Structure 1
Amino acid sequence: MADAFQHHAVGMDSPASNAASITPSNTDDLPHVPRALYALGEGNVRVTMRGGGDPVVLPILVGVPLPVRVSRVWASGTTATGLVGIW
């Protein structure tokens, strides 16, 4: 498949090229740091930000990207469902 943009630099405001389902875990970090999270069912996500620090709880709406770079999505404290990370 031809990609007219293959030689363009990829920035944080560029469209995502990858996506993966996220299974929240209290013990495992994500295999890829996403640029944003999406949810199929709204609620809260408890996350550890890529920069570190204590976990925080953030609200997430269906179909609205949450532009955060996180290293972990925690099972405890996460009520949103159908989470997807894009990068």
Structure 2
Amino acid sequence: MPVDLFDDQTAGLESPPTRIFEITPDDGTDLPFVTRALNAATSGEVRITTLGGDTATLYVAAGAVIPIRASRVWATGTVASGLRGLL
């Protein structure tokens, strides 16, 4: 196991993500975790609901990391693929 020189530090929202999970867009189910950021393998629109309850469609460029606290990614209105949630 590699040595983590920062293991005695408290991580904040501006710290680098430490976990990642695949996102399958779904109109009826919230994500298992609220994200710190989103990433997509292919560019396109992503319809999300934020932690604050707002629903909007964002454009995500392939490979870009979008810092957003998303609680749901909708299938309807989402074109980008290969979505990942960063925690």
Please list every run of 5 or more consecutive structure 1 residues that lacks an aligned counterpart in the other structure: none
Listed as ranges, the matches of 1:29-68 within 5 Å are 29-53=30-54, 55-68=55-68
Per-residue CA deviations over 1:5-35 (Å, capped at 9, x if unaligned) read: 1110101111111000100000000001111
TM (normalized to structure 2)? Answer: 0.95
Q: Please provide the CA RMSD for this pair.
A: 0.7
Please list every run of 5 or more consecutive structure 2 residues that lacks an aligned counterpart in the other structure: none
Distance 1:5 1:38 in 2: 24
TM (normalized to structure 1)? Answer: 0.95
Q: Where does residue 84 of structure 1 map in the other structure?
A: 84
Which consecutive segments of 4 or more residues in structure 1 shift more than 3 A?
none
State percent identity of aligned pairs: 44
